[in-house]
Amino acid sequence: MAKQIRALEERLHVIDEMEKNLFQKKKKINAAKRLGLPPSTLNLIILKNIEFREPADENGTSAKKRKTSKMSIYSELERVLFASYEQVHASNIPVERRRLK
């Protein structure tokens, strides 16, 4: 069976469903069947709850459609460059393609 990669949005949906049904004392196996997941996948998603929520909170809705949530090595540099680009763009100064590369 091929490995199936689920989008972050699907993983967050599974976590939300499990949190809703946490107090109903339903077994994880029954919940996995209801969600259409193998029990091992459900356990993995529950264990990595925080790891899935952080990128979704930091990057907003665009991050939820991603399948992987890799953070950039140069995230601070990217943030500064993007801020300078926004400032130049707001001043109606044309931006050259070479500068963007």
More reliable by pLDDT, 4 or 29:
29
pLDDT > 70 fraction of the chain, expressed in percent and rounded? 66
More reliable by pLDDT, 93 or 101:
93
pLDDT value at residue 16 = 79
For 7, half-sphere exposure in the C-beta direction (CA atoms, 13 angstrom radius) is 9
> pTM (2 decimals)?
0.46
Stretch 82-89: mean pLDDT, rounded? 85
Q: Closest Cα partner for 42 from 70, 20, 2, 13?
A: 13
